[in-house]
Amino acid sequence: MRKKDVWAALFCTAALGVGLYCLWGWNRSIEVGFTVLTTQPDPQDLYDEDTQEQADEEIEALKETNAYTVEAPLLIADPYGTNTTGVYLYFESEQPASVSYEISTADDRYGSFSRTLSETPSLDHEYQLLGMVPEQENEVTVQISYEDGTADTLCFTYEAPALRGNGETILEQEEGESEATLTDGLYAILGNDNDSGQQQYLYYYDNDGVVRAEIPLGEYRCDRIVLEDDLMFISVEEDKIAALDALGQVVRLYDTGAYSMHHDFISDGEGNLLILASRDDAQTVEDQIIVLDLDSGAITAQLDMGEMLSAYRAQTSADDTDWDWLHLNAIQEKDGDILVSSRETSTIICIEDFMDDPHLDYMIADERIWADSGYEDLLLTQSEAFKPQYGQHSLTCLEDDEPGDGQYEMILFDNNLGISTSNTDIPWSTFEGLSTSGSDENGTSHYYKYLVDEEAGTYTLLESIDLPYSAYVSSVQLLDDHVITDSGMQGVFQEYDADGKLIRSFTVDAENYLYRVYKYTFEGFYFSR
C-alpha cells in the first residue's frame, strides 16, 4: 500500500457520545451530534516533515470538499499526533465572530478550563482545543460571539484517550500560607525524564494540577519552549528541534548535524537559536555553543569554551568516559553579549560580543574556586557578604528590570551543591553553608535574585527564598512578580507570591527527576492575547 493510501485508510469516523445541553441567555444554542475524524501519525514518524505535510493535505482536502459551518463544524482528534488529548476545530461563520470555549467534566476534582481563542472577529475559524481531561467525558462549550451582539453556543462531549506517557491526570497538591491567587497560565513540565531510549513527553498542567495537554517527543526531553513568529520551537531529539504551529502541525525540523544539544537553547531575537551543545567526535562534553539560523537551517560552530578557557581546562581531568570540565547548563542573551551557567565551576560567565568577536568579560562565582587559576581578575566582587551560588541552574536575565546604566538583574536556582568531579583541587569541604552530597537530607536550595553592576564590577543578592533541596537540575522563573520554582530531584514545583510566601506546591511522581518547570500563558499562540 502506498503511503498516501495508508493515510487515507487512517482517516475514520468515530461517533462521539454527545451530551446535549442548553446554555440560556444566548440567541441560539445549537445541539447537534458531532463527528470526530481521527487520524494519528505513527509515533515513530511523528517528527517527519513528509508525514506532517500529508496530514495537513488530508485536512485541507476535507475543507475543500465539505462546507463546515457553525451548525456542523469539522472536529479531528489530534490529527498531527502532537497532543494526545487535543482536538482540532474548523468552521466558517456567516458573520465575523470571536470565539471562546470551556471544558468541564462530571468530576469536580478536575474543575473547568476556559480560554479565548480569538478576540478579533473573523469569518474563518481554525483552532486547537487544549484542556481535555484524559479518560473523562469532557463537556465542551464553544461560544461564538458576533459583532452585532448575538451569539451561538455549540455543545458536544469528547471522551479523551488515556495518557500515553507516565504523566498523571491530577497532581498531589499542598496549599501554602499565602492567600494570593496563582498567576494565569499552564505549568510546562520540561523533562519528566524517562530512562534513556524511551519516548519522552511534554506536559501542561493548570493551576488545579490537572493535565491539559500531552505532547509526545522523541527520545530526548524538551529543554525549553521558545515562542517566536507564531511558532513554538521545542527540542525533540538530541540533534533535532521542531517548529510547531498553534494547530499542532510540525512545520519544520532542524538538525544540529555534528553536535548534540544539552540543557538549554534560546532565541537571540535576530532569527537565530543559540544552543548549548557537545561535539559528537570530541572527548570533552557540554562545552560548545552553536548557532542555528532559523531561515536557512545552517549550523555555525560559534564558540568552543575549551579554547576560551584553555588554561583552566588544562587543570582538569576526565573521568572514565567523558571530560565534563565545565558542564554548561543555561544560556541567556543580553544586548549582544551572552551569559552562561557552568555547574562544574559554580560560575556564571559573561561573554561579550558573542556573534562577532566573543571574548571573556567577567565571571560571578566564589573567588576561592578560581584562586591561582589565572582567571581570578575576571571575577566580580560582592557588594556585601553573602553565600554565592553553587551548582546553579536556570539562569535568567530580567530584561524588563534595568535599574540603571550598566546594571541588570538576574535570577537563578541555587542548587547549593559543591561538587566538581573534574577538578578535585577545589576544597569544597571547607566551604560553609552548602551541601557536598546529592542526597543531603538536611540540604537547602534557594531562589536567588542578583543585581549586577557591570560599571562598578559588583553583584548583590537582592532576594532569596529557601527551597526544597535539589542537588541537580531544577529551575526558577519570575512571572508577574510571582516566583515559579522546580526542585527537580524531589519532583516538586511551587509558586510563591511577591513576598516570597508559598501559594501552592505540586508533587509529580517523577520516574527520575523534573528537569525544568516553566509557566506559559500561551497568549498569542494557542490563545488570544
Residue-wise over 379-410: b if at least 16 C-beta within 10 A, else e? bbebeeeebbbbbbbbbbbbeeeeeeeebbbb
Q: Is the pLDDT assigned to residue 400 strictly greater than 80?
A: no
pLDDT digits (tens, 9 = 90+) for 120-139: 999 999 999 999 999 999 99
Query: Tell me, what's the pLDDT at 32?
Result: 53
Residues 364 and 511 in one domain: yes
Note whether residue 84 is domain-resident.
Answer: yes
Q: Once rounded to an integer, what is the mean pLDDT over residues 381-405? A: 92
Q: C-alpha grid cell for residue 512? A: 527520575
Residues 181 and 143 in one domain: no
Note whether residue 528 is domain-resident.
Answer: no
Q: Of 159, 189, 221, which residue constitutes the final position of a domain?
A: 159
Q: Name the residue among 191, 135, 174 with its Cα closest to residue 158.
A: 135
Q: Is the pLDDT assigned to residue 402 strictly greater than 80?
A: no
Q: What is the CATH number for 224?
A: 2.120.10.80
Q: Of 126, 159, 192, which residue constitutes the final position of a domain?
A: 159
Q: Which residue has the higher pLDDT, 438 or 520?
A: 520
Query: Tell me, what's the pLDDT at 320?
Result: 73
Alpha-helix residue ranges (DSSP H) falling in 13-92:
49-65
- Of the pLDDT bands very low, low, confident and very high (cuts 50, 70, 90), residue 69 is very high
Domain with 87, as residue range(s), is 3-159
| Radius of gyration in angstroms for the set of CA atoms belonging to the chain, rounded to a whole number | 25
CA 152 to chain centre: 35
Query: Tell me, what's the pLDDT at 45?
Result: 85
Query: Tell me, what's the pLDDT at 321?
Result: 80
Strand order in the sheet with 502-507: 172-175, 502-507, 492-496, 482-487, 475-479
Residues 515 and 380 in one domain: yes
pLDDT digits (tens, 9 = 90+) for 85-104: 999 999 999 999 999 999 99
* 145: Cα within 13 Å, side-chain hemisphere: 12
Residues 440 and 307 in one domain: yes
Residues 176 and 154 in one domain: no
Query: Tell me, what's the pLDDT at 191?
Result: 83
Query: Tell me, what's the pLDDT at 30?
Result: 65
Note whether residue 529 is domain-resident.
Answer: no
Residues 399 and 440 in one domain: yes
Residues 131 and 223 in one domain: no
Query: Tell me, what's the pLDDT at 97?
Result: 98
**Percent of all residues in the chain with a pLDDT value above 90, rounded to a whole number:** 86
pLDDT digits (tens, 9 = 90+) for 191-246: 876 666 789 999 999 999 999 999 999 999 999 999 999 999 999 999 999 999 99
Q: Is the pLDDT assigned to residue 526 strictly greater than 50?
A: yes
Residues 293 and 370 in one domain: yes
Any bridge partners for residue 267, and if so which? 273
Q: Is the pLDDT assigned to residue 444 strictly greater than 50?
A: yes
Q: Is the pLDDT assigned to residue 1 strictly greater than 60?
A: no
Considering its fold, how many domains does the chain have in total? 2
Residues 412 and 452 in one domain: yes
Q: Which residue has the higher pLDDT, 529 or 518?
A: 518
Q: Once rounded to an integer, what is the mean pLDDT over residues 162-183? A: 97
Q: Is the pLDDT assigned to residue 10 strictly greater than 50?
A: no
Q: C-alpha grid cell for residue 448? A: 536567588
Query: Tell me, what's the pLDDT at 17?
Result: 38
Query: Tell me, what's the pLDDT at 117?
Result: 99
Residues 180 and 73 in one domain: no
Query: Tell me, what's the pLDDT at 3?
Result: 30
Note whether residue 178 is domain-resident.
Answer: yes
Note whether residue 279 is domain-resident.
Answer: yes
**CB 90 within 8 Å of CB 63:** yes
Q: Is the pLDDT assigned to residue 5 strictly greater than 50?
A: no
Q: What is the CATH number for 132?
A: 2.60.40.10
Q: Once rounded to an integer, what is the mean pLDDT over residues 435-451? A: 96
Residues 380 and 484 in one domain: yes
Q: Of 159, 184, 216, which residue constitutes the final position of a domain?
A: 159
Query: Tell me, what's the pLDDT at 401?
Result: 64
Note whether residue 67 is domain-resident.
Answer: yes
Strand order in the sheet with 407-414: 381-382, 458-468, 444-453, 407-414, 393-398
Note whether residue 526 is domain-resident.
Answer: no
Note whether residue 165 is domain-resident.
Answer: no
H or E stretch including 359? strand 359-364
Residues 107 and 221 in one domain: no
The angle that helices 3-10 and 49-65 make with each other, rounded to 10 degrees, is 60
Q: Is the pLDDT assigned to residue 439 strictly greater than 50?
A: yes
As a whole number of angstroms, the distance between CA 320 and CA 439 comes to: 23
Cα distances from 438 to residues 161, 468, 470, 510, in angstroms, run 38, 13, 8, 17
